[in-house]
Amino acid sequence: MRIVSELSGVSPSWQRGTAFCLSYNRTKLKTIEIEYEDPEIPLDIYASYSVQQIMVAFGKTTQDYVYPMREGVLYLEEKHSDLFFITINKNEEDYLPSTMYNDYAKNSELFNWKSQSTTGVNTPTGQRYINDRSPGHKVLLFARESRQQYSHAQPYIFLGNARYVSHKGSNPIQIVWKMDHEIPERIIRQSNLRVVN
């Protein structure tokens, strides 16, 4: 480890103890945040963000304007990016029946997601989701376990880039996405509790 090698003047037993503590603590972390690949987007993979923090990162919310984000999807044409805001465990009190989408992690790399019910395979949005493989197009997933946490809006975990794998149906379209980074275990656990076929 780099930190231990910088302690060359310290006793070997202290170095081993320090290395053990660092290694142990690293295994107890829920997730380790990773800097996102695009330097224009100041977010870290696996970090938690409020909707407005995400809107600031993408330039939608400014000091003088708060972007009124009300839906679970946002297309940023100027960045050719689709942002998906996913709540795994939806409560019938907080969501309309038409928005109780069955979104879940299938495993550590695949995510099952349903589009809005107004999105069909032949709509411009549906075509973008299914067919746009251009290098500049990004599909970015933000997921949270539930809407509320301790009486406040639960933040979203930035899962990063998603790549199209397959789809079925229309209005809504059920799409399977492959993540560039592994899906955190806690999202997988919550998804296993949620899956309804």
Q: Does residue 6 belong to any structural domain of this protein?
A: no
Q: Does residue 4 belong to any structural domain of this protein?
A: no
State the pLDDT confidence band at 89, using cuts at 50, 70 and 90.
confident
The confidence score (pLDDT) of residue 10 equals: 57
Distance, CA of 60 to CA of 69 (rounded, Å): 10
Q: Does residue 86 belong to any structural domain of this protein?
A: yes
Q: Does residue 59 belong to any structural domain of this protein?
A: yes
Flag whether the pTM goes above 0.95: no
Count of domains for the chain:
1
State the pLDDT confidence band at 121, using cuts at 50, 70 and 90.
very high
Give the domain extent around 155: 12-194
**Range of lowest pLDDT (38-42, 95-99, 181-185):** 95-99
Strands 138-146 and 156-168 come out as antiparallel
The confidence score (pLDDT) of residue 45 equals: 97
Task: Write the CATH number for 26.
Answer: 2.30.280.10
Please give the average per-residue pLDDT across 135-158, as a whole number. Answer: 88
Q: What are the residues whose beta carbons fall under 8 Å from the beta carbon of 86, sequence distance 6 or more?
A: 72, 103, 113, 141, 142, 143, 144, 156
Phi, psi angles (nearest 5°) of residue 52: -70, -35
Judged against a pLDDT cut of 90, whether residue 41 lies above it is answered with yes
Write 42-47 long-range contacts (CB < 8 A, 24+).
43/158, 44/158, 45/158, 45/159, 45/160, 45/181, 46/157, 46/158, 46/159, 46/181, 46/184, 47/157, 47/158
The confidence score (pLDDT) of residue 125 equals: 97
Q: Does residue 81 belong to any structural domain of this protein?
A: yes
Query: Residue 159 corresponds to which tokens in the numbers above?
Result: 């899962």
The confidence score (pLDDT) of residue 99 equals: 57
Q: Does residue 1 belong to any structural domain of this protein?
A: no
Q: Does residue 3 belong to any structural domain of this protein?
A: no
Of the two residues 92 and 5, the one the predictor is more confident about is 92
